[in-house]
Chain A
Amino acid sequence: TQLLEQSPQFLSIQEGENLTVYCNSSSVFSSLQWYRQEPGEGPVLLVTVVTGGEVKKLKRLTFQFGDARKDSSLHITAAQPGDTGLYLCAGRTIEYSGAGSYQLTFGKGTKLSVIP
């Protein structure tokens, strides 16, 4: 079983501060995704990174995939209360079992609270 560890588990910051959350594994992933989940709702995909060293930006959010494709980070600049939520990373491994199936492994998440 592939293991994805996210840190920190909890993060409470003031509006306007910057923050970085991490997603680490000893395994190599072919791609990695970041999701945000709000209470009572399903996760919503933010970004997919597929190339080692890749950096993607989504407004104030910057995502980076490690060169070895074992880790990723999410940096938020000037956090706002609307950024509050559970941030999940998920790595994709490809396991072929005749039907060409594949699975995503999720981390436990980082719960972010941005205080106005």
Chain B
Amino acid sequence: NAGVTQTPKFRILKIGQSMTLQCTQDMNHNYMYWYRQDPGMGLKLIYYSVGAGITDKGEVPNGYNVSRSTTEDFPLRLELAAPSQTSVYFCASILRLAGGMETQYFGPGTRLLVL
């Protein structure tokens, strides 16, 4: 298994441009998440999905959109890039086990710079 893969690894955008951050997992996990990580701020949840066709907002959804047409893919869309969206973006999927145990697998991240 490749686990969680993200593309691109790094991107520079101009203000007002749009782009899609790709995320794919091959572990057949239902739960998938998008986080952003700013220096010294930990990880903030942007959007999440509990299965194909179901998405919901996290803590910081403004300026982003997601879709989940398949179990494997969970792309994150930025429509009008702003400097405040400069960050490192992580996609993750979760394997839930019995007894409340779970394992969250993170992708390697996409570093985005908006100028």
Note whether A and B form a binding pair.
Answer: yes
List A residues at the B interface (Cβ < 8 Å): 1, 9, 30-31, 33, 40-45, 48, 50, 88, 90, 92, 97, 99-101, 103-104, 106-109
Q: Is B54 an interface residue (CB 8 A)?
A: yes
Complex CA gap A61/B43 in Å reads 23
Q: Inter-chain contact count A-B, CB under 8 Å?
A: 62
The residue from A1, A31, A108, A109 contacting B59, defined by CB atoms under 8 A apart: A1
With A45-B105, A90-B104, A104-B104 given, name 17 new contacts (CB 8 A).
A1-B59, A40-B108, A41-B109, A42-B92, A42-B108, A42-B109, A48-B102, A50-B99, A50-B100, A50-B101, A90-B43, A97-B56, A99-B51, A101-B50, A103-B45, A108-B41, A109-B42
A38: shortest Cβ distance to chain B, in Å? 11
Complex CA gap A109/B105 in Å reads 18
- The prevalent SS among residues of B at the interface is strand
Residues of chain A contacted by B4 (CB below 8 angstroms): 42
Residues of chain A contacted by B48 (CB below 8 angstroms): 101, 103
Residues of chain B contacted by A33 (CB below 8 angstroms): 102, 104
List B residues at the A interface (Cβ < 8 Å): 4, 33, 35, 40-45, 48, 50-51, 54, 56, 58-59, 90, 92, 99-109
